[in-house]
Amino acid sequence: MPKLSVIVPFYNVRQYAPDTLRSLRANARDDFEFILVDDCSSDGTADLLARAESELPGAVLVRHERNGGLATARNTGIDRARGEYLTFLDGDDWLAPGYYERLLAAIEELGCDFVRTDHVQCTARARVVHRVPHGRRNVSLRPRDAILPAHRSTSVDYAYAWAGVYHRRLVDRGLLHFTDGLRTAEDRPWIWRLHREAESFAVTGLLGVFYRRGVASSLTQIGDVRQLDFIRAFDEVVAGAAEDADAARLLPKAVRTYCAIISHHLGSVERFEPAVARKLKAMSAAALRRMPQGALDEVLGSMDTERATLLRRLRRRGPQGAEVAA
């Protein structure tokens, strides 16, 4: 049984994959395996991965016959992984040498279900450290205690799957898989489920993941219909919070985050194709009407005037976009 399984989906990242693969080699150990998932690339990435299968110690290459998206590719990797611990990396990011050995030592010392880490965001030549928004570090804690408060950024807002390491018992409990088919925001219901249902977690200041931001081929830079999967993702977040025994406390946080994401997308609606922009507005209006209305009223009453006014107006839109009586 490998000690650590690293799951790395790749899709049309030929320009960046060599950096990723070199950094994996600089982290190789006899008891580490690297699950390289080719999500049906068409730009030459597949050729790089074919070479890596024989050159990278511990490499296991898995190919998708159809592109399934990041969530599905990660699930493929989880299903193939054999390690006692699992972690993730995206195919256009990279690692500091020896990082995984230090990460593994951290979770073994802390003895918890999962550990979250800081990371370095890289935009062109700029480097910025992003930290887990949680004050207590290097001590095992109850994950659900890190969800609130609703009005501040917390650990569930820092949803990067690759910023951490996870014990296999989370797989056995059905907590580590992602919602199949989600093309964006796939890590939001995932991180909420971990924090609601896992038994222990910790935060460490360990740095070693370099997150490449602003890649032209990244879905976050593309304004097509796949971006609208955030609606399905946050519907799942709100539904999970509503079913929780502590729903009264958790729902305002879930609804507030959902509203903030809707506002964010509407604030940059010009980057979407016109038909997608119309669909975004219609789907967002329907989402607001689906939310628990008491929690939504509470959230809108505490938000800044500009966003609250926008969301209230959007909530009044009828199914065809016409406003209805308040």
Q: What is the model's pLDDT at position 292?
A: 97
Q: What is the model's pLDDT at position 111?
A: 97
| Averaged pLDDT of the chain | 94
Looking at the chain, which residues constitute the CATH 3.90.550.10 domain(s)?
2-210
Query: pLDDT (tens digit, 9 = 90+) per residue, 28-66?
Result: 999 999 999 999 999 999 999 999 999 999 999 999 999
Residue 221: band (very low, low, confident or very high) from pLDDT cuts 50, 70, 90: very low
| Sign of the Cα pseudo-torsion (107, 128, 130, 71, in order) | negative
Instruction: Choose between 226 and 156: higher pLDDT.
Output: 156
Alpha-carbon gap, residue 166 to 113, rounded angstroms: 6
Q: Spelled out in words, what is the top-level CATH class assigned to the domain 2-210?
A: alpha beta
Rounded to an integer, the average pLDDT of 103-132 is: 97
Q: In this predicted structure, which of 81-85, 112-116, 180-184, 198-202 has the lowest mean pLDDT?
A: 180-184
Task: Give yes or no for residue 304 having a pLDDT over 80.
Answer: yes
Task: Give yes or no for residue 325 having a pLDDT over 50.
Answer: no
Q: What is the model's pLDDT at position 223?
A: 63
Task: Give yes or no for residue 135 having a pLDDT over 50.
Answer: yes
Q: What is the model's pLDDT at position 228?
A: 95
Reported pTM: 0.93
Alpha-carbon gap, residue 44 to 51, rounded angstroms: 12
Residue 320: band (very low, low, confident or very high) from pLDDT cuts 50, 70, 90: low
Inter-residue contact 47 to 54 (CB < 8 Å): no
Task: Give yes or no for residue 2 having a pLDDT over 90.
Answer: yes
Q: In this predicted structure, which of 23-32, 184-193, 194-203, 221-230 has the lowest mean pLDDT?
A: 221-230
Nearest alpha carbon to residue 27 among 208, 241, 294: 208
Rounded to an integer, the average pLDDT of 217-234 is: 77
Query: Checking phi first, is residue 244 left (phi over 0); if not, alpha (psi -120 to 50) or beta?
Result: beta
Residue 326: band (very low, low, confident or very high) from pLDDT cuts 50, 70, 90: very low
